[in-house]
Amino acid sequence: MKIDKKIESEILHVAMVMDGNGRWANERALARLKGHAKGADRVRHIVRASLDMRVTHLTLFAFSTENWKRSESEVLGLMSLFKKFMKSEAKKLLINGVKVRFIGDRSKLDDPIIKLMNDLELMTVENDNLHLSIALNYGGRDEIVRATKKIAEKVKLGQINTDDISAELFSNNLDTFDLPDPDLVIRTSGEMRTSNFLPWQCAYSEYVFEQSNWPDFNKDIYQKILNDFKNRERRFGAVLK
């Protein structure tokens, strides 16, 4: 179904740690890359579901700064899947009004994948139905260090002084400088840790640790989580009367 007009809804930013591809494959006696390929198919499904459920911002944790520690064959396979996904999904994302951006440190990625990332961002820059952010070579601590270096350089050049440094200024130097903070973080596969994902931005996010592995995560599970989220009382550190 083509979506040709802006979805009118309140801002709802969902961030996801897509965990469990390898576990899904192991349970079926398949190679880990088969699980990652199935996980890529699940991304398509969840992007479509997010549009249907009027999620306005979706951030997916695709590859962390720590994932380089995996075997060379798995890393190369993942990079190949990322390239394949961007090539095959570009037109669909454009037609469905999805604005794509990538967060993370691109310096360690090879030139072909960086070009695909840049092209996809440019192609979809005017879209506004869903803001899809893909965290690729992303680590929360790495992002904070990079932001600190940017601010330090501005101080060094005399563009700002130390009294100008605030939480707002710091946020404006993160990869997510123009995005709302996540309202809800979903991690699949039952693991109960945040894995260095958006630590600054998720200070007051709600968390759900879903038991399903990422390849099994579907629209029905997603909808139930969103329904439950809507019933949560968010306090942001205050005491509500």
Cβ proximity of 94 and 49 under 8 Å: no
d(CA 217, CA 50) in angstroms, rounded, equals 13
β-bridge pairing 184-187 and 206-209: parallel
CA atoms within 13 A on the CB side of 137: 13
The catalytically annotated residue of 67, 172, 173, 196 is 67
Q: Are 125 and 50 in contact (CB under 8 A)?
A: no
Asked if 21 is an active-site residue, the reply is no
User: Token match 């399903």: residue?
Assistant: 212
User: Is 67 assigned a catalytic role?
Assistant: yes
Q: Which of 19, 21, 129, 137 does the annotation list as catalytic?
A: 19
- What tokens were used for 137? 């070579």
| Radius of gyration, CA atoms only, the chain | 18
Cβ contact 36:63 at 8 Å: no
Are 199 and 135 in contact by the 8 Å Cβ rule? The answer is no
Return the structure tokens found at 100. 């794509």
Catalytic residue IDs: 19, 67
